[in-house]
């Protein structure tokens, strides 16, 4: 009995490699988004600390130079937040593009895998039929010999 051979195996292997590359690209994009979100959280934390520090000083006398330094620092943090939000938006768009590419690669692979499964089932059915024909021929030849 000959073994099952899927004629499009090379194409399926290629699609598997493409899907693996798309998964890696997607994972990289997830990492980039997570990195920017972490940076945003850090900046928000610094802003909270700075505002809390200033609020703690409002009970006493405020030094104008210290207040101006605080405003410059908070302004620079807010500017950094603005830039981080913009970068995060770009990275989220990249993530969405890579997610879509991964989904398409997965669909392409699954189509071929389903075809391979159907072809394998057809092959198994044909092999069972051939085996049954062979057994029928053996049985017929035995009944022919027995009737002589």
pLDDT of residue 60: 63
pLDDT of residue 54: 80
Domain boundaries along the sequence of the chain: 9-120
What are the DSSP calls for the chain, one per residue?
Answer: -PPP--TTHHHHHHHHHHHHHHHHHHHHHHHHHHHHHHHHHHHHHHHHHHHHHHHHHTTS---HHHHHHHHHHHHHHHHHHHHHHHHHHHHHHHHHHHHHHHHHHHHHHHHHHHHHHHHHHHHHHHHHHHHHHHHHHHHHHHHHHHH-
Q: In CATH, what class is 9-120? A: mainly alpha
pLDDT of residue 140: 87
Q: What is the mean pLDDT of each run of 10 residues along the chain (148 residues)?
A: 91 98 98 97 95 76 83 95 97 98 98 97 95 91 73
């Amino acid at each position: 009995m000959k073994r099952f051979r899927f004629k499009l195996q090379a194409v399926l292997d290629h699609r598997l490699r493409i899907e693996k590359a798309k998964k890696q690209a997607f994972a990289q994009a997830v990492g980039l988004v997570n990195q920017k979100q972490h940076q945003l959280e850090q900046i928000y934390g610094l802003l909270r600390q700075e505002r809390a520090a200033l609020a703690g000083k409002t009970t006493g006398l405020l030094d104008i130079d210290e207040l101006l330094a605080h405003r410059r620092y908070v302004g620079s943090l807010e500017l950094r937040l603005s830039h981080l939000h913009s970068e995060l938006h770009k990275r989220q768009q990249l993530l969405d593009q890579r997610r879509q590419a991964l989904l398409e690669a997965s669909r392409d692979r699954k189509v071929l895998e389903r075809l391979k499964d159907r072809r394998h089932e057809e092959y198994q059915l044909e092999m069972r039929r051939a085996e049954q024909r062979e057994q029928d021929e053996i049985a017929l030849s035995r009944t022919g010999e027995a009737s002589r």
